[in-house]
Amino acid sequence: MTQPLPQISERALAMRHAFDQSFAEPVRTAATDTADFVALRLGDETYAVAMEEIGGLHADVAVTPCPSPFPEFIGLAAFRGALTPVYDLASICGYPPATARWLLLAKGGAVAFAFAAFDSHFRIERSAIAVREQTASARYTTAVAARNGQALPIISLSSIVSGIADRVGAPPLPKGA
């Protein structure tokens, strides 16, 4: 049985209004507090680095060797026309130096870190991050991220950059750089 014509018109007008109104409302997204990380391998261990500390991730960048009193200093690389010092991330974290394919540019671009193996990008809820006590053996890993049942130490690039600046006598980078 068909509805009378006036009821169909009213219903069509209501549907049209609802459709038009759906475009006037802001898009609703789930409000979860998440953090993004890059997972990389140093030696046989997997570590995480917060994306908020990364200025760039580059593969196969030429690094010009330079003499230095610091064994973890590899040389200089050019990024957007600027020479950037490159340090071996494995050496800094207590591993033997490895042939590095990847360069992780610290936010602000003042320093780059070389490492051998990129693992993945991942996103987790901030509640899956546990702050840990800083020790001499793990001075650059200040927290641990839980990912797929695995605990990944989080490397603090800002702590490493500050440590390098202290060693070479350079002024530290400004906050937010």
Which has more pLDDT, 176 or 142?
142
**Measuring CA to CA, how many Å separate 67 from each of 39, 51, 64, 70?**
30, 31, 10, 9
- Look-up: residue for tokens 């974290």? 93
Are 76 and 64 contacting, i.e. CB atoms less than 8 angstroms apart? yes
* Order of all β-strands in the sheet with 82-88: 54-59, 102-106, 112-115, 82-88, 73-79, 64-65
pLDDT digit string, tens, across residues 56-94: 999 999 999 999 889 999 999 998 888 999 999 999 998
pLDDT value of position 134: 67
pLDDT value of position 61: 92
